[in-house]
Amino acid sequence: MSAIGQDRYKYEDYEATAEWLLARIQIQPKVAIICGSGLGGLADLLINKTSFAYKDIPNFPHSTVQGHAGQLVFGELKGKPCVCMQGRFHFYEGHDIATVTYPVRVFHLLGVETLIVTNAAGGLNSKFKVGDIMMIIDHINFPGFAGQNPLCGQNEERFGVRFPCMSDAYDKDLAELMRQVAKEQDCASFLRQGVYCMLPGPTYETVAESKILQLLGADAVGMSTVPEVVVARHCGLRVFGLSLITNKVVMDYNSKECANHQEVLETSDMRTVDLQRLVSRLVEKM
């Protein structure tokens, strides 16, 4: 895995991508939504849509994961100008961290003020059930412990400060708003909150690894999201995150359960409508 951070791209590269998009869209998005595995249906809620395949956007990476459509969709959600990423980028696809986070800086240059991140995650908290939706209140950045931080390298002051704070990474006001929305939508019974831990993948966790993560205070584990959040906060964006608990992490050596991507997609399908209702109502109330 490359240790290249923000030095891989120049400010002008992000600027060129943003200018290409701005010349082709009718709205200036204020909210960006990154859709995780099986959750790309969020983009279907947009009206007055304009879509671009990642492969057609200058400097944009390509997504190769099943359940990720690989396109950028602009439009309005409940009257708010938005952009949705149908599919994100991951370490395990062979991308370096600068590529994984490239779209977030483009969003900032497009005028985006709030980033909503969604993902499919394994449940570590014993009280969580498959199909629960977890508001992310904090994260554990395991790749960051190994020096894989998207802010490594020379700092670009036009994006943000050299040493950004991460203790307030997830916006508390948006979390409180989501609690209200969940009650209104009769979703409070399966809305949780907790700490998300990122591992680079693509393998699922061993039993020993899962036990370590639990001891560290992680409630859910996945293979994405954290790098995008770090870059978003560096750019001054507000961040709100949701994890759909698509499987229970195996914690017992005698268990015959095995984590698999098909289970992730099936659970995503089951809870898609609820997730769409929650996110769309949150955006409406923002």
Whole-number Å distance between alpha carbons of 92 and 25: 32
pLDDT at 94: 86
- Tokens 């400060």 -> residue: 161
Position 72 confidence tier, pLDDT thresholds 50, 70, 90: very high
Specify whether the CB–CB gap between 181 and 282 falls below 8 A.
Answer: yes
pLDDT at 163: 96
Residue 3 scores a pLDDT above 50: no
Q: Considering only residues 184 and 3, tell me which one the structure prediction assigns the higher pLDDT.
A: 184
Residue 50 scores a pLDDT above 90: yes
Residue 184 scores a pLDDT above 90: yes
Q: Which residues are the active-site residues? A: 37, 68, 90, 92-93, 120, 223-224, 247, 261
- Reduce the DSSP state of residue 3 to 3 states and report it: coil
97: nearest Cα among 160, 56, 140, 152 = 152
pLDDT at 2: 42
pLDDT at 224: 94
Specify whether the CB–CB gap between 157 and 235 falls below 8 A.
Answer: no
pLDDT at 258: 64
What integer is the mean pLDDT of 16-24?
97
pLDDT at 140: 98
At 84-114, the pLDDT tens digits run: 999 888 888 888 999 999 999 999 999 999 9
33: nearest Cα among 104, 102, 115, 103 = 115
Whole-number Å distance between alpha carbons of 241 and 175: 9
pLDDT at 37: 67
Q: Which CATH architecture has domain 6-285?
A: 3-Layer(aba) Sandwich (3.40)
What integer is the mean pLDDT of 173-178?
97
Strand pairing report for 191-198 and 220-222: parallel
Here the tokens at position 9 are: 């791209």
Position 1 confidence tier, pLDDT thresholds 50, 70, 90: very low
Prior bond to 202 cis, omega within 30? yes
Whole-number Å distance between alpha carbons of 29 and 236: 16
At 237-268, the pLDDT tens digits run: 999 999 999 888 888 787 766 666 666 566 66
Which residues have CB under 8 Å from 271's CB, separation 6+? Answer: 131, 133, 244
Which residues have CB under 8 Å from 232's CB, separation 6+? Answer: 104, 107, 108, 115, 239
**Distance in Å from the first CA to the final CA of the chain:** 38
CA distances from 209 to 128, 204, 205, 215, 249 (A): 18, 10, 6, 10, 10
The number of CA neighbours under 13 Å toward the Cβ of 117 is 34
262: nearest Cα among 74, 66, 84 = 66
Q: How big is the CA angle at 196 (ends 2 and 227), to the nearest 5 degrees? A: 30
Q: Considering only residues 70 and 265, tell me which one the structure prediction assigns the higher pLDDT.
A: 70
Here the tokens at position 141 are: 């950045």
Concatenate the DSSP letters of all residues of 67-114 into one string. Answer: T---EEEEEEETTEEEEEEES---GGGT--HHHHTHHHHHHHHHT--E
Domain ranges of the chain: 6-285
Residue 222 scores a pLDDT above 50: yes
Which residues have CB under 8 Å from 56's CB, separation 6+? Answer: none
pLDDT at 58: 95
Length of the chain: 286
pLDDT at 143: 94
